[in-house]
Structure 1
Amino acid sequence: MTYTAPSPHLPDPDRQPQFYQGVPARRLIAWVVDSLITLGLTLGAVLITAFVGVLIWPFLFLTLGFAYRVVTIANGSATWGMRFAGIELRDAAGQRLDLGQAVLHTLGFSLCFALPIFQLISVVLMLTGSRGQGLPDLFVNTVMLNRRATF
């Protein structure tokens, strides 16, 4: 992994801290909401398959969770949990994530959950970094921001 200088297109955490305030806690809220949504999708799949899906529960959970994250991030730069928590992902240019970036970010997210040491490192980075970036954010060069108010 290489170091990328902070982007002039993103809010500066020292001059505009309101974009980063409370983001780690909001990420936790978003993760809980997204996990519940994924659980609901998985339960729905189990019911649709007349309970045969129970035999492949972990596969269903991982596959549906991955697809849910990719689709929602690619279509709005935030999962439904992130939207509920009032946060969104932005790339180094300050733009919303496209499909390729959404896939890469979700892949990094999934790998962090598969390997607990990476998840621990990611959480520590989120809590200590000025921009609150986890490992997937550093890998894809994204940042989680408080959503701008839209009226």
Structure 2
Amino acid sequence: MATPDPQTQPDFYKDVPLKRFMAWGVDAVLTFLACLVILPFTAFTGLFFFPLLFLVVGFIYRMITIANSSATWGMRLFAIELRTSRGTQLDMGGAFAHTLGYTISWGLAPLQLISMVLMATTERGQGLSDHALGTVMINRRAAHR
């Protein structure tokens, strides 16, 4: 099974860029809250390296949640999920690669800008990491019909 064709199966991609943005916001808040919970366990020294803590916690959160169900909790809330070019859910290796690409994109502003433009303008709504890995974000309800 391959990824759905946006021309013949547009329901798979309907509103996905907006849902991705909203899911990103939820995931950012969850990561921030997790960092606040972790802070006391660092004797509050985590305040001195909070951006690094946020990066590491966010990386682990994204990788594990994507590996478990091909979606972060934010993605699940908005009923979207990642699929490989074969149409299957991502495994741990795919989740790691996708999260690494996402993290690198955020580290280099031009790459993130390119990724956002691609998500908004391509017919499958793929970001830079998606194009590199052949992954797509689709509506979960359409996938499980």
* 3-state secondary structure, aligned to 1:148: helix
Distance of 1:79 and 1:33 partners within structure 2: 9
Deviations 1:59-109 (A, max 9, x none): 110000000000000000000000011100000110000001100000000
Deviations 1:31-54 (A, max 9, x none): 000000000011111122231211
Residue of structure 1 in register with 2:40 after alignment: 47
Residue of structure 1 in register with 2:14 after alignment: 21
The gaps in structure 1 that reach 5 residues or longer are 1-7
Count of aligned pairs: 144
Letter in 2 for 1:46: L
Residue of structure 2 in register with 1:93 after alignment: 86
Residue of structure 2 in register with 1:57 after alignment: 50
Is the helix fraction higher in 1 or 2?
2
Q: 2:75 aligned to 82, 91, 98, which one?
A: 82
Letter in 2 for 1:75: N
Misfit runs of 4+, over 6 Å? none
The gaps in structure 2 that reach 5 residues or longer are none
Residue of structure 2 in register with 1:30 after alignment: 23
TM-score under structure 2 length normalisation: 0.95
Matched, 1:141 2:134: yes
RMSD over aligned CA atoms reads 1.4
What is the Cα deviation at residue 140 of structure 1?
A: 1.2
Deviations 1:4-30 (A, max 9, x none): xxxx61111001101001000000000
TM-score under structure 1 length normalisation: 0.91
Distance of 1:134 and 1:80 partners within structure 2: 19
Q: What percent of counterpart residues are identical?
A: 51
